[in-house]
Structure 1
Amino acid sequence: MSGPRMTVVFATRDRATLLPRVLDRFAELQSPPGGWSLVVVDNGSRDRTVEVLRSYTDRLPLTALSCPQPGKNRALNAALQHLQGDLAVFTDDDVLPEPDWLVRLRAAADSHPEADLFGGTVLPDWPQPKPDWLCERAVEFSVLYAQQRRPSGACGFADIFGPNMAVRSAIFAAGTRFAEHVGPDDTNPLYAMGSETELLRRLEGAGHRGWFEASACVRHIIRPEQMEERWILNRAFRYGVGEGRHYAGRRSVGLLVRRLVYGIAARGSALLPPSPRRLRIRYRDRWLAGVAAGRPAARASPPSG
């Protein structure tokens, strides 16, 4: 049975070591009805990423593009003119999809014509056992590692995460683009997170509806350094910056007071051994600092610790 084609898109930068593992998994994907294509945008890599991509052109329906100007969303926008078919599937360069991933997304899009935005399950792929202090009682793994688990059904923009996201191509054909002032950017290590969220929030506001397909599953590779407290606190700050920008027009009652209280608590907890409570306090402190820094006229300061 044939059907409309779909295109998978992701941006990459300096991932020559990791990409073979990712692309090997893509080569094992079951082809959905109508087939699929893959567009990968190299975002100014300084390693052998381009060579790795070229080595897979005989194993994958792969088009490799170049966008040397830093910025993940700039790279994704460069890919939009190369979309084929009616469904654009976005993911990351550190994702391992299940073999039936595209088949499941295709079935969801065909079964729910009322929806234009689609999401699926995202599970962490841990490199080693987690320490006791790194747990979901302390921090949201959805923020840290893009973990997302929920039942299938109608959903809002907040239920769809970047590693497993699909949008009907007609939306981009009508002129919609990713906002280039948010998202990963090599020129700013403390960039504002939330690039996919910003797009999806905008589309939902324009009346587009979402559907979550739990059976469409990918695993998100977690690097060892992403299990260290310093990385977690930096991510908390970037997440806060993104929230501050998204809600810049609103007044946060008591933000200054909360920053003061958590700042004092964070300095005290830093003297204690690692624990879920210590991580929760220090994470909240850096998130609040990011929210303040992301507001208009605010200057982002580097995270402590």
Structure 2
Amino acid sequence: MDISVIISTCNRCGQLNRLFEALAAVKVKTGLEWEVLMIDNASSDDTTDVLYREAEKKRFPLKPLYEAQPGKSNGVNKGIAEARGSLLIFTDDDVEPDSGWLSGYWKAACQYPEFYGFAGRLLPRWDGPIPKWFRLHKDIGVLASLEHRRDLGKKAVPLLKGAVPGGANAALRMSAVKRMGEFRTDLGPGTENPCAEDTEYMCRLLVTGGHFLYVPEALAFHRNDSKRFTRQYALLWAEHAARCEVLSKRPKMKRSILGIPRYLMRQAVERYALWQLCAVGEKRFRKQIRFRQTWGEIKGYRRLKKERK
């Protein structure tokens, strides 16, 4: 087997058809063997039935699986255990791959044997108008990640040192996955720490001496629901992302107060004051976002302290 695509899904049976249509349109060269492992991660809707009905159509090599333990990472780990491909491609149920997606990854894997990880091009596909507030503030790093965009141009280049792709459009050689192990099940959607399970996992490739290659031909589109993009959602995301980053990296602390780095305590006071003193408007929102990031980091360190007791 050449390629295994791994997708964990939960309670989105009504939205899977767009993904199915995209996968059915994927073009591969004759002789390339591939499979799509879609894991129903403890859904309470008709996801399993929808997966089996699609598999019966045989439009693409779909293999439905089920994982009873909630949490996206549990679903992905189930897929890794069942995968037979020498190249594993990771994506999500709200992503629509381009027709040349698989061929792009396979060509890069064959052409660049020195790379063990690959990051495809990822563009947002908005379901509705882009909210005005988001257009004004997407230069803020934590908000930019909400858009799910990776576009480094149309030439294959190594990712910058330390840069890792998320799980919406990335690939790893099976040989690397065997060294990296399983996804952490305390991180990711379906847990109380809903972020960073994919970036934490991809970081392990760098730790083992591997590197990522950006592959523009492996193009996919991430669906963004404009109705979900509210200021309140962005604030919550900023806090969650910062907290989960601390939990994923588990940094050591030298100077702390009650387990919280001193610099974060000072930063929290300063950012809270700047937020409260700022007039109503876009500038105030930016101050609030930065405070919520700091607050999320503090919550992450507090959680680490409890775990270390």
Q: How big is each residue's C-alpha offset from its partner over 1:23-69, in whole Å with a ceiling of 9 and x where there is no partner?
A: 11111111255131100111111112112111210222111111121
- Which amino acid in 2 is paired with 1:212? Y
Work out whether residues 226 and 232 of structure 1, in 8 Å CA contact, stay in contact via their aligned partners in 2. no
- Which amino acid in 2 is paired with 1:169? M
- 1:39 paired residue number: 37
Work out whether residues 11 and 92 of structure 1, in 8 Å CA contact, stay in contact via their aligned partners in 2. yes
Distance in 2 (CA, whole Å) between partners of 1:98 and 1:157 is 27
Work out whether residues 141 and 147 of structure 1, in 8 Å CA contact, stay in contact via their aligned partners in 2. no
Matched, 1:93 2:93: yes
Structure 2 length-normalised TM: 0.87
Higher mean alpha-carbon deviation, 152-161 vs 87-96, is at: 152-161
Structure 1: give runs of 5+ residues left out of the alignment.
301-305
Q: How far off its partner does 1:299 sit?
A: 8.7
Q: How big is each residue's C-alpha offset from its partner over 1:87-114, in whole Å with a ceiling of 9 and x where there is no partner?
A: 0000001001111011001111111100
Structure 1 length-normalised TM: 0.88
- 1:303 paired residue number: none
Which SS does the other structure have where 2:163 is aligned? helix
Distance in 2 (CA, whole Å) between partners of 1:145 and 1:82 is 31
Task: Please state which structure has a larger fraction of its residues in helix.
Answer: 2
Question: Which of 199, 202, 224 is the equivalent residue of 2:201?
Answer: 199
Structure 1 pair 128/212, CA: closer, same or farther in 2 (3 Å)?
same
Q: How far off its partner does 1:258 sit?
A: 1.4
- 1:108 paired residue number: 108
Q: How big is each residue's C-alpha offset from its partner over 1:201-259, in whole Å with a ceiling of 9 and x where there is no partner?
A: 12211111221112211111112343111111111111001222214324656211111
- 2:284 paired residue number: 278
Question: Which of 141, 160, 166 is the equivalent residue of 1:161?
Answer: 166
- 2:294 paired residue number: 288
Work out whether residues 126 and 222 of structure 1, in 8 Å CA contact, stay in contact via their aligned partners in 2. yes
Which SS does the other structure have where 2:139 is aligned? coil
Distance in 2 (CA, whole Å) between partners of 1:264 and 1:227 is 26
Structure 2: give runs of 5+ residues left out of the alignment.
255-260
Distance in 2 (CA, whole Å) between partners of 1:22 and 1:192 is 22
Which SS does the other structure have where 1:134 is aligned? helix
Question: Across the two proteins, how many residue pairs are aligned to each other?
Answer: 291
Residue correspondence of structure 1 range 62-81 to structure 2 within 5 A:
62-81=62-81
Higher mean alpha-carbon deviation, 247-256 vs 280-289, is at: 247-256
Higher mean alpha-carbon deviation, 92-101 vs 123-132, is at: 123-132
- Which amino acid in 1 is paired with 2:292? R
Seq. identity, %: 25
Work out whether residues 20 and 52 of structure 1, in 8 Å CA contact, stay in contact via their aligned partners in 2. no
Which SS does the other structure have where 1:121 is aligned? strand
Which SS does the other structure have where 1:51 is aligned? helix
Q: How big is each residue's C-alpha offset from its partner over 1:278-302, in whole Å with a ceiling of 9 and x where there is no partner?
A: 33222211111111111154699xx
Question: Which of 23, 26, 29 is the equivalent residue of 2:23?
Answer: 26
Question: CA RMSD for the aligned pairs?
Answer: 2.2
- 2:273 paired residue number: 264
Distance in 2 (CA, whole Å) between partners of 1:105 and 1:179 is 25
Matched, 1:180 2:185: yes
